[in-house]
Amino acid sequence: MVLTTDKKSISIHNTEAVSIAEIPVLAYADFKAQILTWLHFEKCHCVAYFAYPFAGGLKFIAAIADDSNAQIYLLSHEQEGQIIELEALSATAMPMHIYEREIAENYGVVFNNHPWPKPVRFAFNRFNQEMQVNDYPFYKIESDQLHEVGVGPIHAGVIEPGHFRFLCNGETVLHLEIQLGWQHRGVEQLYLDKKTMLQRAILSENIAGDTAVGHTMAYALVSESLTGAHTQNTMLDIERTIALEWERIAMCIFDLSNLNIGIAYQLANSVFGALRTPVINFFQSWCGNRFGKSLIRPGGTHYPLTDELVAKLVAIMDDFETRFDAMAEKTFHLPSVLNRFDGIGKVTKKQMTLIGAVGQAAKAAGLIRDTRYTHPIMAYETLKVLPEMQNGGDVLARFTMRRLEIKQSIAMIRHLLDMRQYVDQESGAPLKQSESSMKPNTFSLALVEGWRGEICHCAITDENGNLQHYKVKDPSFHNWLALALSLRNLEISDFPINNKSYNLSYCGFDL
């Protein structure tokens, strides 16, 4: 922890805990000026901005990640009274729009000149209980020539619910608005209600089942940071990094399969679908669950990666890679596939920067947002990942990203298995409940690069070391807007492949 020279913020690194008292409290005008200065640079983006009840009013904490030096700047402001009215940051800094919407929804804070003041997820403990999930204020254009298409919340496939409202001119989509919140389960409140570390780890596994490893890793890192239990354990770091990359492979191969069914290329759909089976079955061999649930726990793991498992993993990867390469080579050279994806649903790097997009979708449009590279922890510090990138920003770019990341993750895992041979250490058992007492009045934050992108968990403890506030952010929190932008001026029939090319999380957003 370092106080920056102008004393307007402190800087921490990923997973570092800091006393709440040390985070500078600024007047709102100074806070705003500081945030706007940082966000002017592409290297900086906001990873968390939230409010929580404090001394009869609200305390607002912001965390700005500087990708050039792996620092995260923390600063705060406090507001008194029941009715709080502020000049919106997003009036000039667009990426802040979703954070301010969330704060407005939860606490009734009014952000003046907010460009898009809409509900976020209709949380059960929201400020305005009058506003129901069916009352979402959709953007409208009055015209005799236009029509609207509403889809959902329940969709045709076996997928999660969300509502999509298309404003169309004939077949062309002028505007798509995505309304979420159907999946809201009160996750953040449950972190406070559940009292044991195990319950919170289990809760983390069920934020988004397709990112069980990613979210539980973020929770584990935050817990270790708050308990002070995080000692250097190279073996644990290696095993956790392998788990995270394995989850990335499992989901990227799923997406490749799914995108191919979107264009009726049956062979690739079946082959990539079949290739996913050995991947998720390895998770089952490792920890008994095909999604890696129960593998990640604060402090250690119940399931060390044994030599026997390593041999199995290597055999699976060898076989997987041969079969994957043959199918990928075919698919990525098939004109009918390329023609269907190329130039469809394009978003620019500038758009992605403006909306604060992260992860795979951002990288597909040429924007480097990959915390494995910019804020490395665990084995990523040694691996020095250079993110795979594309510039197209279209469905093809996002499709290609899956292939590149699968190859990169396999290479990384091979490297990690090599490193593992020279580590004379055991990954160790998880923390017991009796070892779970957390430092009082402390803030901690963890950035984990899940397969979709940046996952951010923040926790704050009270004077007794109990959780006072817990904040979860899935990459989908930012990226849903990118899907909406992709659809502009596109034929409505191109929605499914665009949606599949992002494959965003509903429950990760709705919490």
Least Cβ distance, residue 251 to other proteins (angstroms):
9
Task: From 2-10, 48-56, 224-232, 270-278, give the range in contact with other proteins by CB under 8 A.
Answer: 270-278
Asked if residue 81 binds other proteins (CB under 8 A), the reply is no
How many CA atoms within 13 Å lie on the side-chain side of 400? 20
Asked if residue 4 binds other proteins (CB under 8 A), the reply is no
User: Helices (DSSP H) in 155-265: which residue ranges?
Assistant: 187-193, 197-205, 212-227, 234-262
Strands (E), 327-438: none
Task: From 121-129, 372-380, 400-408, 461-469, give the range in contact with other proteins by CB under 8 A.
Answer: 121-129
d(CA 100, CA 168): 29
Residues in the chain: 511
Task: From 11-19, 74-82, 368-376, 500-508, give the range in contact with other proteins by CB under 8 A.
Answer: 500-508
Residue 46 near residue 102 (C-beta atoms within 8 A):
no
Instruction: CB nearer to other proteins: give 25 or 133.
Output: 133
User: Of 4, 289, 348, 437, which one interacts with other proteins (CB under 8 A)?
Assistant: 289
Asked if residue 115 binds other proteins (CB under 8 A), the reply is no
Residue 106 near residue 123 (C-beta atoms within 8 A):
yes
Least Cβ distance, residue 303 to other proteins (angstroms):
8
| 468: Cβ contacts below 8 Å, ≥ 6 apart | 52, 192, 460, 461, 462
The footprint of other proteins on residues 193-212 (CB under 8 A) is 193-194, 196, 198-199, 201-203, 206-210, 212
Asked if residue 348 binds other proteins (CB under 8 A), the reply is no
Asked if residue 389 binds other proteins (CB under 8 A), the reply is no
User: Of 27, 149, 315, 326, which one interacts with other proteins (CB under 8 A)?
Assistant: 326
Eight-state DSSP code of residue 305: -
d(CA 219, CA 298): 8
In 3-state terms, the chain is what percent helix, strand and coil (to 5)? 45, 20, 35
The footprint of other proteins on residues 52-71 (CB under 8 A) is none
Closest by CA to 499, choosing from 255, 174, 180, is 255
d(CA 393, CA 14): 28
User: Of 323, 349, 407, 414, which one interacts with other proteins (CB under 8 A)?
Assistant: 323
Least Cβ distance, residue 289 to other proteins (angstroms):
7
Instruction: CB nearer to other proteins: give 73 or 182.
Output: 182
Cβ–Cβ contacts within 10 Å for residue 347, how many?
28
CA dihedral angle for residue 461, residue 464, residue 465, residue 470, rounded to 10 degrees: -30
Task: From 27-35, 226-234, 235-243, 277-285, give the range in contact with other proteins by CB under 8 A.
Answer: 277-285
The footprint of other proteins on residues 128-157 (CB under 8 A) is 133-134, 153-154, 156-157
Asked if residue 284 binds other proteins (CB under 8 A), the reply is yes
Q: How many residues line the site for other proteins (CB under 8 A)?
A: 64
- Preceding peptide of 153 cis, ω within 30°: yes
Instruction: CB nearer to other proteins: give 485 or 497.
Output: 497
Task: From 15-23, 142-150, 216-224, 280-288, give the range in contact with other proteins by CB under 8 A.
Answer: 280-288
Asked if residue 246 binds other proteins (CB under 8 A), the reply is no
d(CA 394, CA 399): 9
Asked if residue 273 binds other proteins (CB under 8 A), the reply is yes
Residue 497 near residue 263 (C-beta atoms within 8 A):
yes
Q: Which helix (H) or strand (E) holds 403?
A: helix 395-421
Single-letter code of the amino acid located at 102: E
Residue 84 near residue 77 (C-beta atoms within 8 A):
no
Asked if residue 293 binds other proteins (CB under 8 A), the reply is yes
Residue 21 is encoded by which pair of tokens? Answer: 């008292």
Instruction: CB nearer to other proteins: give 46 or 123.
Output: 123
User: Of 49, 107, 166, 182, which one interacts with other proteins (CB under 8 A)?
Assistant: 182
Q: Which helix (H) or strand (E) holds 505?
A: none
Closest by CA to 263, choosing from 497, 492, 495, is 497
Interface ranges with other proteins (CB under 8 A): 122-125, 133-134, 153-154, 156-161, 181-186, 189-190, 193-194, 196, 198-199, 201-203, 206-210, 212, 254, 267, 270-271, 273-274, 277, 284-285, 287-291, 293-294, 302-303, 322-323, 326-327, 329-330, 505-507, 510
